[in-house]
């Protein structure tokens, strides 16, 4: 029987282990990590999310779009321009 974690470090270690296992399973299944496989937002989804967003939310949305393998460089540039039209 597996022992229960008694420290935060043990719990974090278990969480890292589970994350690695999910990534391995997902790579075997889809050829991508768990997070990559679930980034299925379109350019339009990101553009709509930016509408009316405050400064912090804009940064979070743009950061996620920058890590999304489905968003190309020119699309990212367009998202940045729409998020900060005064800088364009």
Q: Which residue has the tokens 């979070």?
A: 60
pLDDT at 50: 94
Contact (CB, 8 A) for 43 and 71: yes
Q: Please say whether the beta carbons of 49 and 16 come within 8 A.
A: no
Question: Tens digit of pLDDT for each residue in 38-84?
Answer: 667 899 999 999 998 999 999 999 998 998 888 999 999 999 999 99
CB-side exposure of 22: number of CA atoms within 13 Å?
A: 11
Q: What is the pLDDT of residue 37?
A: 67
Q: Give CA–CA dist 48/52, Å, rounded.
A: 9
Domain boundaries, the chain: 7-38, 41-88
Instruction: Convert the pLDDT of each residue in 4-46 to its tens digit.
Output: 778 888 888 888 888 888 778 777 776 777 676 666 789 999 9
């Amino acid at each position: 029987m597996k022992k229960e974690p008694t420290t935060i470090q043990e719990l974090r270690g278990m969480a890292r282990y589970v994350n690695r296992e999910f990534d391995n399973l997902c790579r075997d299944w889809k050829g991508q990590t768990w997070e990559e496989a679930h980034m299925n937002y379109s350019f339009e989804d990101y553009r709509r999310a930016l509408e009316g967003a405050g400064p912090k939310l804009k940064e979070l949305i743009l950061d996620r779009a920058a890590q999304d393998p489905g968003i190309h460089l020119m699309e990212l540039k367009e998202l940045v321009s729409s998020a900060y039209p005064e800088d364009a």
